[in-house]
Each structure stands twice: as C-alpha cells, then as structure tokens.
A and B are shown apart, each in its own frame.
Chain A
Amino acid sequence: MPYKCARCKRQTDIESARGIKCPYCGHRIFLKERGGGVKRVDVR
C-alpha cells in the first residue's frame, strides 16, 4: 500500500517505515495514496 510523507511528499511504504516514521525526514504523518487500477462505482 503506497503512502506519501505529509512533509517531504516522498513515497514510502508504511511497513518498512519502522514505526510510523518517514525514513527520509522523520515526519510521523502520512497520506494514503489512491490505489492503482480501475474503481467500479454503482450509482445508487
């Protein structure tokens, strides 16, 4: 699952980010990226 660091905006992986911490800048807030592929939505 791809995440983005909220401060330095670099892509990282939350599993490898030992604890919730950006490996590049140490920031602890992440943004979840939109998943790839097509999303099917029913109009209801």
Chain B
Amino acid sequence: MEFEVENIEGDGRRAAFVVRGATPAFVNGVRRAMLADVPTMAIDTVDVYENTSVIFDEVLSLRLGLVPLTTDLEGYELPEECSCEGEGCTGCEVSVLLDVEAEDEDTTVYSGDLEVEDPEIEPAQDGIPIIDLKPDQAVVLEATARLGRGRDHAKNQGATAAAYKHLYRAVEDGGGGEDVLRGYVETLDGDVVDMSEYDGRVSEAFDDDVGFETVDDAFVFEVESDGSYEAEQMVSEAALSLSERAEELADTIAT
C-alpha cells in the first residue's frame, strides 16, 4: 500500500491526521494495536510500609496503578522479554516511592508526590488526586512500576482515545442534502477542514449545491494519549508492533 499521511492538528498528547491509501483492515489493526499492544509503564506491585489513612491498601494500590507514567521504551523491556526472565531487574522495573504525612491539617496527596528513581520516568501529570489525609494520617510505600500491555490491564492502555472514520469529501453538484456534518471534511480544493469551526453547519462552510461522499481509502484518525507517550509516538509504536509480528510470522512460516 502507498500511504499518504497528512497532519491536521495536534499537540503532544493529541493528534488528528488523515491516512490515504489504506484499507479498513489495516487502519483497524493500527487502532487495535494502539489500544491493546503498545506497552506503557505503570505501577504493578506495591509494598505498603504504613497506611493509617481511611483507604485500604488494595484500593490505594489500584489508584496508584492507574496513574499514567511517562514511558521510556528504550530504557525498559517488558518483564517477560527481559534477560532476567521476569525475575525483576533494573532493565524491566523501576521503583517508585510515596512518603506522605498530614501533620496538623487535612492534606491531599497528588500523583506529583510520587518519587520515581529514574528521572526519565515520572507521572504524566502531577495533579491527579490520590488520597485525602486527615491530621496525623500517613502513607509510606514503595511501589514497582513495570511495562505492560493494554490487553492485560487497563492501566497499561496508553491511548485514551484511538478512533478513525472514513474521510468525507465535498463533491460538486451533489444537490446539498446535508445540513450538519461533524468531524473533518475534504473541501473541493482538497483541503481538510474541521467542521467544528463552523459549528458543523454545512451552509456556512460550503456552497448550496455541494454534496458529500466518503473516500474509500482515506481515514481520519483522532488519537489521544494518557501522557505515557506523545500521540505521534503512540501511532508509530502501534505500526511497529504490527510490523514486528508480521515479520515474526513470515520468519516462522518460512522455516
């Protein structure tokens, strides 16, 4: 397939782009890979030293697990693919500390209070509330973060949104018909416009007699990441994961 990718908008965590020259099966593979296969870092085990808060250790641990961490795929391996064979070593896990105490006033503990041993890894955002502490309550724990995949646990799903739809195209003398369109539409000049700029109103964006059709091999992707990756890296890792598996299959079949 000859692809053509055109960026529409995006900054860091969000991206919207058009893929031309693809089949529905291929873009769906990429979408599924983004949701389930691209590994992200997340807290996986927690050693609780002290917890005098009102929340059970298990609930607190689950909350910690759901905090998105920035992911460094260069620096870490999936535990099952690591040379330590899942034993746990510096190549596949990193330690995260939380040591908080509410002294004499109510305190909210935020994701930003987590201290990660490796400066490459940090909470993707600092302001996620984890727990409220009353005076004299304290939480002291050491957690271990590992890479994992979204298909095994939702905490490892890096894409908070990964969706595509066929690109709409305006055609001349289409006879109108549409009053409201959402999303991105290709104009007669071949530009892609965001209909939300016109509040979706077709009459404001196009001439009266313009009609619309879908473009068979063009898809508009909208991708949003939880902060583990930039959206662009998310898409690219998903494509690489597909290509690696295809390569592995081809090699296995050949032998």
Q: Annotate A21-44 by CB proximity to B: 1 below 8 A, 0 otherwise.
A: 000000000000010001111111
For B, the interface residue count at a CB cutoff of 8 angstroms equals 18
Cβ–Cβ < 8 Å partners of B58 in chain A: 41
Chain A interface size, under 10 / 10 to 19 / 20 to 34 / 35 or more:
under 10
Whether the pair B155, A43 counts as a contact (CB closer than 8 A) is yes
How many A-B pairs have beta carbons closer than 8 Å: the answer is 34
Which residue of B49, B51, B52, B61 is within 8 Å of A43 (Cβ)? B61
Please give me the residue from chain B that is nearest to A44 by CB atom: B153
Q: How far is the CB of A22 from chain B (nearest CB, A)?
A: 23
Cβ–Cβ < 8 Å partners of A39 in chain B: 47-48, 57
Query: In this assembly, does B33 line the interface, its C-beta being within 8 Å of a C-beta of chain A?
Result: no
Please give me the residue from chain B that is nearest to A39 by CB atom: B48
Cβ–Cβ < 8 Å partners of A34 in chain B: 51-52
- B residues with CB within 8 A of A: 42-49, 51-52, 57-58, 61-62, 64-65, 153, 155
- A residues with CB within 8 A of B: 34, 38-44
